[in-house]
Every structure is written in structure tokens, then in C-alpha cells.
Amino acid sequence: MSTRHELKLPADFTDLADIGIEWSLPTEKERQDRRATASMPELRRYYDRLQPRMTAIAAHLDQFEYGLDQLPAAERHLLQLAYMYLESAMAVEFYRRPEPPDNFPRSRFIIDDIRI
């Protein structure tokens, strides 16, 4: 019996619950910062796990009406995992590292989270 908090995901995606628990983050800033401070092996592992599921994730979410307050909790977590995959792709496909060297300080870049 596990006392660890489980990530609630839709039935077809419960296989992602183990990795998702560490990567389901609700805001752009949190996802950005998570990517910038993660290790490359972690990011690569996340990227490799999510990539083959992305099309299925989009197809599943498309069953729900579009709207920022329309998703049940399980679907919201799934969406956040999809966003995090895209963030991880910046590290894996572009930077080849979690964060570019000598980047402008992330703490000075204000990210508003209000959008369509």
C-alpha cells in the first residue's frame, strides 16, 4: 500500500502517473523553471516517455469542449504534462542542455498567466 500522493490522470494515461507526479505543473513559469533546473537525463527521460503519447493526449482532450475552465482535474493534469513535454523539447532538441549558458536571469522575466 502506497501512502504517496497519486497523480489523477484519465484511464488511458495512468501509465504516465509515475513520471507525471513530478512534472504536472499548472503555470508557464513553473514549467519553465522546472526545465531550467532539471538535469539533462531527467529531461530526456520525460521527453522520451511523453513524445509517443502526444497525439493520443491531444485526441483525448479534444473530446472536451475548449475552454480554460472546462477540463476535469484528470484532464487538466494531462494537459499540463503535454505542455511540459513541449518545454522539455527546448532542452532536448534545441539547447542540448537544460538551460542556455549565461541566460538572462529567469527571476527578472515576469510571466503573466492570464490568456486565452
Partner 1 sequence: MAADSGNLYQKLYTPLHPDLGTGPVSVEPYISAEYFEREQRRIFDNAWMLACAESEIPQPGSYLVKEVPLVNSSVIFARGADGVVRGFRNVCRHRGNQLFYNECRGKARGFTCKFHGWHFALDGKLRGVTEADRFFDLDKPGLGLTPVMVDTWNGLVFINRGVGTVQPLREYLGSLVDGLEQYPFKQMGLAAEWKVDVKANWKVMIDAFQEGYHVGLVHRNTVQGLFTGPKRPTCRLSHFRLHGPHRAVTTPKNPDFKPSTTEALAFQLAGAGLSQEAGELHGSSGLQWSGLNPGGETDFGFDINIVFPATFIDTSFGWFFTYEFWPQAVDRTFWVAKLFVVPPKTWAQRIGLEMTIIQLREALYEDLTTLEATQKGLSSGAMDTIMLSDQELALRHQHAVVEKMVRGA
Interacting residues with partner 1 (CB under 8 A): 28, 32, 51, 54-55, 57-59, 61-62, 64, 66, 79, 82-83, 85-87, 89-90, 93-95, 100, 102-104, 108-112, 114-116
Q: Single out the residue of 78, 83, 97, 100 nearest to residue 30, CA to CA.
A: 83
Quick one: 7 or 92, whose CB is closer to partner 1? Answer: 92
Residue pair 24/84 in contact (Cβ under 8 Å)? The answer is: yes
Q: Of 18 and 100, which CB lies nearer to partner 1 in the complex structure? A: 100
In angstroms, rounded to a whole number, what is the distance separating the alpha carbons of residues 93 and 28? 19
Considering beta carbons, is residue 5 or 96 the nearer one to partner 1?
A: 96
